[in-house]
Structure 1
Amino acid sequence: MGTGTRRGPVTVRSLRADDDGLSFVLADRDHDVVVDVLFDGRRVWSFWTLRDSEPRGRERHVPWPSALVRFLDGQASLALVDHVSGEQVAAVDATLGSGAGRIRVVDSKGRPLGLDKSLTLSRLFDSRDPDQLAPLLSSIDTVLEALQRCGMDAFLAYGTLLGAVREGGLIGHDSDADLGYVSRFDHPAEVVAESFRLQRHLVELGLSVTRYSGIAFRVNLVESDGVVRGLDVFGGFMRDGHLYLMGEVGAPFQRDWVWPLTTVTLEGRSFPAPARPERLLEAMYGPGWRTPDPAYKFETPTATVRRLDGWFRGTRAGRDLVWEIPSRRRLRTRPVRPSAFARWVRRSEGAIGTFVDLGCGAGTDVFWMAKRGTPAVGVDFKPSHYQSMVARAARDQVPLTFTWANLNELRSALATGAELARRPGPRVVTARHLADALDPTGLEHLLRLARMVVGDSGRLYLQVLRSPAAGPAAQDPRQQLRRPGAEPGDVDALVEQIVQRGGRVESRHDLVESAADGPHGTEPSEEKREVTRVVVSWQR
């Protein structure tokens, strides 16, 4: 399941730890194995010695996962242990941060936490005793029985099935339970309709359900110990000799590898499984599924991702950017201060029929514009970002509306563009540090949406990063982990892409932006950033 070829335990000649991460020297520079990182004898994290590190001179360096950073203040005995052989390959006594006290990676109740394969901090199964696992197993029984009452024969899936087949129990470095089912339908629309029928039936049975996508959802149960447990249920179907199972599987498959269902043993209990569970595990994890890998990363083929996105994930695809969220209290009570970019746009334009801010975030720029009498629309991929301004606009009777859109999904971009193109013109569209945060697909959709909205009478105003931030905060690795998703890019390439899509670059301005140039609500900082502003029009 890993990326390297195992030739016995890795040999580490030296290990050191600092606030940036771990640095080590490998005896064999081509030897890539998965190692566990132990804090005072307890596994907290795992990584591959080559895949997850980068060269720094003679050493390899791996940064601390962001989820761990807040705990790394104190002292700890760190050890690297070859996960498969269990052999300790290096150790060091580390002093991090202030160096006061022992480092304890625990929750608010003092219970041990660890990182799973997705680097999510959780209470892992290896920190729980059998009595603590019993409610989870009962929850699996409850959901399987409920699905069967709804007419669906489900089975253990992903890590839960892997643990049952490979070890007969839950995987120690895992933290949740997964179920799956394969529909008898072979058309995506019918499979989606069936999934929603299942959800309605489960709700009628008194269960709480949270939907992830067209054919995946979570069933929320309150266990006997009072813990709310979410069990993921992934739907799938057969089409053209392939099995497609949310969220990672798209592989050649035979129906008799699924039906009739068989059983496997998990923690001493019997649970349903596909007829050939090893075939499904190979489709999920590859031919090396029998070898444990606590740092496993799915490498789902692009074709499979695009099919599952288009069929089932819809307009939620690609929403994994992390942005700084201003304090809601500050947004509700303090005077709204726009960005220097918004002020510049207003000075540059005459009469504006409709002002549209793509990637509006908290909505401070668009609120400020609407406050001055310009009908305005804020567009963002996460409604929680602008909820405070929704309430404030209603309270102050400001001509402002907000709408949701996801530029990573073409259908969302086209629908949003068509709706905004009906607003009074001339329409001005702004995108401050949005083009430099999107992947190529998202950027293409941004330009298409903007062209639809501005038509032949408005303009698109872009601001993008031209170089990394400079200043004390920019050099602090802990601050770097909190930095929003915009990244410096090639402005010339951006301009070329605009021209290729029929746009005309009316002007380009290179300047330096300080933290004071940002909108109200952002955190104080000494950073200065080189940015470029680009003004674009079409068909003039």
Structure 2
Amino acid sequence: MGRHAPAVDRIWAPFRLPDSPELEGIDVYVGDRHVWSSPVSASYVENGERIWGFPIGMSLGLRGTGEMIVRRRPDGAEIGRYPVDCARGSSDELVLRTGRGADGIVNKWGNLAVPVQRDPEMQQRMLDHTSSLMEALKEFGLRPFLMAGMLLGAVRDGDLLPHEEDGDIGYVSSATTPADMMLESFRLERFLAERGFESLRHSGTHLQIDFVREGRHEANVDVFGGFYLDDWFIQPFQVRARIPREALEPTGRVVLRGVEFDSLADPEPWLEANYVTGWKVPDPAFRFVTAPESARRMLGWFGAFNGQREFWEIYYGYAEAGRGGPSAAAKRLARNRSGRPVIDLGCGTGDDAVFLAQQGRRVIAIDASKRATNTTRERTEGLDVEVIRMNLVERRQVLDFIVDAQIDEADILVHRVLESLPGEERDNALLIARHLAGSRGEVHVGIVDRPDEGFTGADPRTWWIERAEIENRARGMGFELYGWRASREGARNIATAVMTRRQA
């Protein structure tokens, strides 16, 4: 294998290994630590080699110099070494670390995570958080039960799974339609907010509750609602199966590390629906594969609001605020001297917000990443900057912001955002401009307008969008777009332009 000198803004070369019938997957080690597993189904064959794409969580977290060892599943035989020379950080030894310096692993989604097994106190607090949240759900009128990885570990192993990183709670709703299921979930979200829980919505039926300790994120507990449609039990994102209703009665009990939880009367049908028939045998390389017909139904009914949010949370754990300075789009906006407030969509760590506020502008800085907004808030203390955490993928949040903003006329900055939003969600950013720019406000757009040689669907930093698409979407929102200019930001080609309200 070749030597690579990666940087945080590049994608690494994939793992290339000789293909063989004995190869069922790979386990990757950094030093003596097992950090990632992947099944053979996640790879492809090219010129006699079995190829695995390099997980984005690993490319962000590697520090130092050394070799990663690749072992064959299932027999553990060493089949390759992957030299790494990565100058980031202070460690000479090769390590995989989070932005806060904790030893990390790559989870089943390809993201960097910290399993709670590394910290016994964290394990106990996560179990306590899960228990307290279940009590809140009961107060709301639901009958929650332990599910997903927590249920699997309790039933199969009598303990937490080795790489467990969050808690999981499910419930069976009395709703009989997808719309009623979603309405109940939104009522639950408001109920939890009133009781001090901080939630993040992944879909119409999936909430992630964040627990914070001493001002820092500590643990997540996911809440998944499910309902029966005829004889089918449907629980996004994975379960659509004919499970007897009596099996899902939360009348069972399981104990994890001394904490008792409500469980299912018969957990095996649910575990088989979620993890297929092999759930009784541990498989570190397990990946969810949702049946296409189930995925179509669930996505159409309940949506998916996560987008690339988890990627950005990890990325902003490493990103150095202020390293790049203001963007070309922000500099161009500052020249108009209008005095109008600026709405900075996708503010990141606040480089543009700081710059524009220092030019005397009032700024509303918006991002979906908690780490990004926290950093921006710290950097803009004492400046006329309001920081809002908002997910542009979720139309409901966008409409709430438009109604609550009480702005007649604003300039809008949308830099390196549109290409990183999925599909039609790009219109959500332009919808804010349509309603809040007024008759004279300017919308300053910055995009990557050509492919990157390291393009991968897992890393939105490598995505791009054609100028023609932006022009078409602008016209659809009642704007004219003019003045394309080319510039460079690091290794990327950036195109900036200005949108103004089309005159009748």
Q: TM exceeds 0.5? A: yes
1:194-252 deviation per Cα after TM superposition (whole angstroms, max 9, x unaligned):
6776898xx8xxxx965444874659699xxxxx9857362524253454546654656
Contact 1:309 1:317 in 2 (8 A): no
Contact 2:44 2:50 in 1 (8 A): no
SS in 2 for 1:391: coil
2:112 to 117, 120, 128: 120
Alignment of 1:408 with 2:401, yes or no, is no
- The aligned residue for residue 417 of structure 2 is 434
Contact 2:447 2:495 in 1 (8 A): yes
- Alpha-carbon distance between aligned partners in 2 of 1:237 and 1:23, rounded to the nearest angstrom: 41
- The aligned residue for residue 537 of structure 1 is 500
Contact 1:362 1:385 in 2 (8 A): yes
Alignment of 1:24 with 2:20, yes or no, is no
1:339 shift after superposition: 3.7
Give, as a single letter, the amino acid of the residue that structure 2 aligns with 1:43: H
Alignment of 1:497 with 2:470, yes or no, is no
- Alpha-carbon distance between aligned partners in 1 of 2:486 and 2:137, rounded to the nearest angstrom: 63
2:367 to 373, 380, 391: 380
From the CA coordinates, give the structure whose radius of gyration is larger. 1
1:408 shift after superposition: 0.8
SS in 1 for 2:450: coil
Larger displacement relative to structure 2 (444-453 or 90-99)? 90-99
1:341-382 deviation per Cα after TM superposition (whole angstroms, max 9, x unaligned):
3333344x4745444333333445455445555555444334
- The aligned residue for residue 461 of structure 1 is 444
Give, as a single letter, the amino acid of the residue that structure 1 aligns with 2:484: H
Give, as a single letter, the amino acid of the residue that structure 2 aligns with 1:36: D
How does 1:79-228 map onto structure 2 within 5 Å?
79-82=70-73, 86-92=74-80, 95-97=83-85, 103=94, 114-118=105-109, 119-123=111-115, 153-167=143-157, 169-184=159-174, 187-188=180-181, 189-190=183-184, 193=187, 211-213=199-201, 216=207
- The aligned residue for residue 279 of structure 1 is 269
How does 1:386-425 map onto structure 2 within 5 Å?
386-388=376-378, 390-393=380-383, 398=384, 401-419=386-404, 423-425=407-409
- The aligned residue for residue 519 of structure 1 is none
SS in 1 for 2:407: coil
- The aligned residue for residue 47 of structure 1 is 38
Give, as a single letter, the amino acid of the residue that structure 2 aligns with 1:273: S
| CA 538–289 in structure 1, closer or farther in 2 if over 3 Å, else same | farther
Give, as a single letter, the amino acid of the residue that structure 1 aligns with 2:496: R
- Alpha-carbon distance between aligned partners in 1 of 2:448 and 2:378, rounded to the nearest angstrom: 27
Give, as a single letter, the amino acid of the residue that structure 1 aligns with 2:26: V
Give, as a single letter, the amino acid of the residue that structure 2 aligns with 1:488: W
Contact 2:58 2:96 in 1 (8 A): no
- Alpha-carbon distance between aligned partners in 1 of 2:338 and 2:331, rounded to the nearest angstrom: 14
- Alpha-carbon distance between aligned partners in 2 of 1:169 and 1:265, rounded to the nearest angstrom: 8
- Alpha-carbon distance between aligned partners in 2 of 1:391 and 1:286, rounded to the nearest angstrom: 51
Contact 2:31 2:68 in 1 (8 A): yes
| CA 238–54 in structure 1, closer or farther in 2 if over 3 Å, else same | same
Contact 2:67 2:94 in 1 (8 A): yes
| CA 146–231 in structure 1, closer or farther in 2 if over 3 Å, else same | farther
Contact 1:111 1:123 in 2 (8 A): no
- The aligned residue for residue 522 of structure 1 is none
1:258 shift after superposition: 1.0
| CA 136–55 in structure 1, closer or farther in 2 if over 3 Å, else same | farther
1:443 shift after superposition: 0.8
- Alpha-carbon distance between aligned partners in 1 of 2:70 and 2:376, rounded to the nearest angstrom: 45
SS in 1 for 2:473: helix
- The aligned residue for residue 450 of structure 1 is 433
Pairs aligned (count): 468
- Alpha-carbon distance between aligned partners in 2 of 1:374 and 1:38, rounded to the nearest angstrom: 50
- Alpha-carbon distance between aligned partners in 2 of 1:297 and 1:492, rounded to the nearest angstrom: 37
Larger displacement relative to structure 2 (138-147 or 160-169)? 138-147
| CA 499–138 in structure 1, closer or farther in 2 if over 3 Å, else same | closer
RMSD: 5.0
1:87 shift after superposition: 1.4
- The aligned residue for residue 4 of structure 1 is none
How does 1:323-342 map onto structure 2 within 5 Å?
338-342=326-330
SS in 1 for 2:492: strand
| CA 32–243 in structure 1, closer or farther in 2 if over 3 Å, else same | farther
1:157 shift after superposition: 0.9
Identity of aligned residues (%): 19
How does 1:305-316 map onto structure 2 within 5 Å?
305=299, 307-308=301-302
SS in 1 for 2:421: coil
- The aligned residue for residue 12 of structure 1 is none
Contact 1:183 1:235 in 2 (8 A): no
Alignment of 1:35 with 2:26, yes or no, is yes
Give, as a single letter, the amino acid of the residue that structure 2 aligns with 1:51: A
Q: Which runs of 5+ in 2 are unaligned?
A: 5-12
Give, as a single letter, the amino acid of the residue that structure 2 aligns with 1:432: H
Alignment of 1:357 with 2:347, yes or no, is no
Contact 2:28 2:68 in 1 (8 A): no
| CA 57–429 in structure 1, closer or farther in 2 if over 3 Å, else same | farther
SS in 2 for 1:232: strand
Give, as a single letter, the amino acid of the residue that structure 1 aligns with 2:391: N
1:60-103 deviation per Cα after TM superposition (whole angstroms, max 9, x unaligned):
25426534765564555824131xxx313443456543899875
- Alpha-carbon distance between aligned partners in 1 of 2:408 and 2:102, rounded to the nearest angstrom: 57
Contact 1:469 1:530 in 2 (8 A): no
1:251-296 deviation per Cα after TM superposition (whole angstroms, max 9, x unaligned):
5654223126345687999965323323212332345545644233
| CA 181–21 in structure 1, closer or farther in 2 if over 3 Å, else same | same
Contact 1:261 1:273 in 2 (8 A): yes
1:483 shift after superposition: 8.6
